[in-house]
């Protein structure tokens, strides 16, 4: 009807009078493309009386052909295009108008393509509940909800276990007895579907407690919650993928797909959504942290920029490295983010030299190679990690790949290529060990490798290499002891740490608060092989209500976890 934009409507036009739309300005995909190609989400307009779902996401990264609208004075906005920073984030795609006894709600999105069926059901349900009040007859609102588990248990103690929840809604003749299920993470994590099935994560970061909540959707505001304890989650090798790319917001999904196809247990932390980097308590649960900056080189969460003479990683990531962590940094322009254009030089005593093994940030492809870009990367013969070669791209050359010179302690993994390329003596991948820290740095964009199969081959080589570091310690520990069981947890008085020692071993126990301050330590000396139990009284040590971390060391090999102290 209106194939070209913008279109302005005036009083007397049907669209103005009955839909409450004053301007049809543009469409996603057709008219955007700076922040993203298509609109990533819709954000709820606060104060609307119809919906609470926020944000509204899609079954694909962005939605195309969503109309960009402004309302009339008589209408109300319901959903705004988002997130903040999106090309049309000052405009709207859902408008509500009451005209006399008539009510019109206009959505310019495809509701059949919301991210989950649960969210589709919830959105449609909220809309219908709102309109139900105008259908005549008295509405009977929910007055009480009682959440219980079907089995009567409130614990999941199997890896990837589930717990069926149920909600009693009173009065029984409530007009709309449907509830919306959600999980509020306390010290653990889990998910729940709209049938009330609580699902544990299968990752060690999922251990702890969560609140399971059922809320009425009839506008009454009635809800109820119960706490569920989750234990024994985790695989032998767990990966945290940190997306620090606010430029190509969905590129990290290429990495997510590769990890999924390779069957690695992994969790995603998205700094674009949280606005911050993960804390140390999050990082320490994982064997490898993949920090992905993609094609972003402005305001990365990666860096601590407080000391411009010695830029470092953010404090939690640095602490993770210092405690023996394995980090794989990858992306374009992370040096550009702090130094701008090359070159820059580093010396012993600086983080970039000592930890990253980089002596010189010498140049960037395209910017410094005559506007060519680097055609490929060639593997360094005899390096300990990769044999896959050459690394090529989804396009003919890659721009903004950093050319590096490395320190004497570091090992080059890939050089820029092919032979004859202007920077073919420089590295674009370097591995360095500094004390306990293991850091692999890729200065290229892995989400733009030429084929998914080649991406997976490269990822497999790198992650299997890191697994050798993790496996060495875990295999030694497995020979000494079975896994540790802590009970009760949560605890209010006495707590027991139980394990089975496969041989005589020295046992130590320490407990620290969430600030990292040690509040308890005891070296129990050599303990005999067999069942081993350590029991301590929380009250004797005046430990306050809260979340603590424990470290049980068997011959200096640690097992860590959380304990929750309640009243």
* Cα–Cα nearest to 436, from 287, 325, 282, 315: 325
Strand partners, 487: 496
Considering the chain, what percentage of its residues have pLDDT values greater than 70?
A: 96
* Higher per-residue confidence, 335 vs 205: 335
73 Cβ neighbours under 8 A, 6+ residues apart: none
* Cα–Cα nearest to 403, from 468, 359, 439: 359
Instruction: For 20-30, write each residue's pLDDT tens digit.
Output: 999 999 999 99
* Cα–Cα nearest to 359, from 342, 350, 347, 368: 347
Go through the chain and tell me how many residues it has: 567
pLDDT at residue 235 above 80?
no
Residue range(s) of every CATH 3.40.50.880 domain in the chain: 238-476
CATH class of 238-476: alpha beta
75 Cβ neighbours under 8 A, 6+ residues apart: 19, 20, 21, 95, 96, 97
Predicted confidence at residue 98, as pLDDT, reads: 94
In the numeric block, the tokens 């506007």 are attached to 371
| Alpha-carbon gap, residue 312 to 304, rounded angstroms | 5
* Strands 530-537 and 485-487, sheet pairing: unpaired
| Alpha-carbon gap, residue 498 to 276, rounded angstroms | 37
- Three-state SS across 42-61? EEECCCCCCCCCCCECECCC
What does pLDDT average to over the chain?
91
Predicted confidence at residue 136, as pLDDT, reads: 67
Instruction: For 106-141, write each residue's pLDDT tens digit.
Output: 999 999 999 988 889 889 988 988 888 787 667 889
pLDDT at residue 59 above 50?
yes
* Strands 223-230 and 155-156, sheet pairing: parallel
Residue range(s) of every CATH 2.60.40.4070 domain in the chain: 485-565
pLDDT-based confidence at residue 471 (cuts at 50, 70, 90)? low
Instruction: For 266-304, write each residue's pLDDT tens digit.
Output: 999 999 988 999 999 889 889 999 999 999 999 999 999
Considering the chain, what percentage of its residues have pLDDT values greater than 90?
A: 66
Predicted confidence at residue 475, as pLDDT, reads: 45
CATH of 144-230, one of 3.40.50.150, 3.40.50.300, 2.30.110.10, 2.60.40.60: 2.60.40.60
Q: Is 56 left (phi over 0), alpha (psi -120 to 50) or beta?
A: beta
Both tokens assigned to 146: 């009682």
Burial of 214 (0-12, 13-18, 19+ CB in 10 A): buried
Quote the distance between the C-alpha of residue 13 and its chain's center. Answer: 46
Cβ pair 493, 539 in contact under 8 A? yes
Predicted confidence at residue 476, as pLDDT, reads: 45
Strand partners, 363: 403
pLDDT-based confidence at residue 472 (cuts at 50, 70, 90)? very low
Which string of DSSP letters, residue by residue, matches 63-119? Answer: BSSPEEEEE-TT-EEEEEEESTTSTTTTSEEEEEEEETTEEEEEE-S-GGGBS-HHH
Give the helix/strand (H/E) hosting 127: helix 117-132
Predicted confidence at residue 488, as pLDDT, reads: 86
Instruction: For 350-401, write each residue's pLDDT tens digit.
Output: 999 999 999 999 999 999 999 999 999 999 999 999 999 999 999 999 999 9
The sheet that has 155-156: what strands, in order across it?
155-156, 223-230, 208-216, 179-185
Instruction: For 218-234, write each residue's pLDDT tens digit.
Output: 889 999 999 999 988 87
Predicted confidence at residue 201, as pLDDT, reads: 87
Fold held by 485-565: Immunoglobulin-like (2.60.40)
pLDDT at residue 556 above 70?
no
**Cis check: omega of the bond before 464, within 30 degrees of 0:** no
pTM over 0.85: no
Q: Is 516 left (phi over 0), alpha (psi -120 to 50) or beta?
A: left
Predicted confidence at residue 10, as pLDDT, reads: 95
Residue range(s) of every CATH 2.60.40.60 domain in the chain: 144-230
Instruction: For 473-488, write each residue's pLDDT tens digit.
Output: 444 444 455 457 788 8
Quote the distance between the C-alpha of residue 299 and its chain's center. Answer: 18
Which string of DSSP letters, residue by residue, matches 229-246? Answer: EE-S---SSEEEEEE--S
């Amino acid at each position: 009807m209106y194939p070209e934009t913008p279109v302005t409507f005036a009083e007397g036009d049907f669209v103005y009078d009955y839909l409450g739309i004053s301007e049809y300005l543009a469409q996603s995909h057709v008219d955007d493309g700076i922040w993203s190609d298509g609109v990533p989400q819709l954000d709820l307009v606060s104060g609307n009386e119809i919906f609470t779902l926020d944000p509204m996401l899609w079954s694909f990264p962005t939605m195309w052909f969503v109309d960009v609208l402004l309302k009339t004075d008589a209408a109300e906005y319901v959903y705004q295009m988002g997130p903040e920073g999106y090309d049309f984030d000052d405009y709207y795609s859902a408008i509500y108008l009451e005209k006399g006894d008539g009510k019109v709600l206009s959505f310019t999105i495809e509701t059949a393509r919301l991210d989950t069926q649960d969210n589709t059901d919830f959105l449609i349900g909220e809309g219908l509940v709102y309109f139900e009040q105008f259908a005549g007859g008295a509405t009977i609102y929910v007055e009480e909800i009682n959440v219980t588990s079907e089995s009567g248990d409130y614990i999941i103690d199997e890896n990837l276990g589930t717990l069926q929840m149920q909600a009693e809604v009173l009065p029984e003749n409530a007009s709309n007895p449907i509830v919306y299920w959600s999980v509020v993470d306390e010290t653990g994590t889990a998910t729940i579907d709209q049938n009330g099935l609580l699902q544990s994560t299968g990752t060690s970061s999922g251990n702890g407690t969560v609140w399971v909540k059922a809320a009425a959707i009839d506008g009454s505001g009635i809800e109820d919650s119960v706490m569920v304890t989750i234990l024994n989650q985790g695989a032998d090798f767990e990966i945290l993928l940190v997306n620090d790319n606010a430029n190509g917001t969905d590129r990290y999904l290429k990495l997510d797909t590769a990890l999924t196809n390779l069957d690695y247990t992994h969790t995603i932390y998205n700094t674009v959504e949280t606005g911050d980097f993960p804390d140390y308590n999050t990082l320490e649960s994982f064997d490898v942290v993949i920090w992905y900056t993609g094609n972003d080189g402005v305001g990365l969460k990666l860096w601590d920029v407080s000391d411009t003479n010695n830029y470092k990683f953010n404090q939690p990531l640095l602490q993770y490295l210092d405690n023996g962590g394995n980090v794989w940094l990858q992306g374009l322009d992370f040096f550009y983010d702090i130094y701008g254009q090359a070159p820059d030089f580093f010396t012993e005593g600086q983080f970039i030299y000592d930890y990253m093994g980089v002596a010189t940030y010498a140049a960037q492809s395209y910017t410094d190679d005559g506007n060519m870009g680097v055609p490929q990367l060639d593997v360094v013969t005899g390096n300990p990690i990769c044999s896959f070669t050459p690394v090529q791209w989804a396009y003919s050359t890659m721009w903004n790949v950093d050319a590096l010179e490395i320190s004497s302690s570091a090992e080059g993994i890939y050089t820029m290529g092919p032979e004859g390329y202007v920077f073919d003596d420089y590295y674009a991948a370097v591995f360095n060990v500094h004390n306990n820290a293991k850091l692999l740095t890729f200065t290229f964009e892995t989400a733009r490798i030429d084929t998914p199969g080649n991406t997976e081959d490269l990822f497999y080589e790198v992650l299997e290499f890191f697994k050798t570091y993790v496996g060495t310690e875990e295999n030694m520990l497995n020979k000494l002891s079975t896994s540790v069981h802590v009970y009760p947890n949560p605890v209010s008085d006495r707590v027991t740490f139980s394990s089975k020692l496969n041989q005589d071993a020295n046992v130590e126990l320490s407990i620290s608060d969430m600030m990292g301050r040690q509040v308890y330590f005891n070296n129990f000396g050599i303990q005999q092989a067999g069942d081993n139990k350590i029991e301590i009284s929380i009250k004797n040590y005046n430990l306050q209500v809260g979340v603590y971390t424990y470290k049980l060391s068997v011959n200096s090999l640690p097992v860590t976890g959380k304990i929750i102290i309640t009243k």
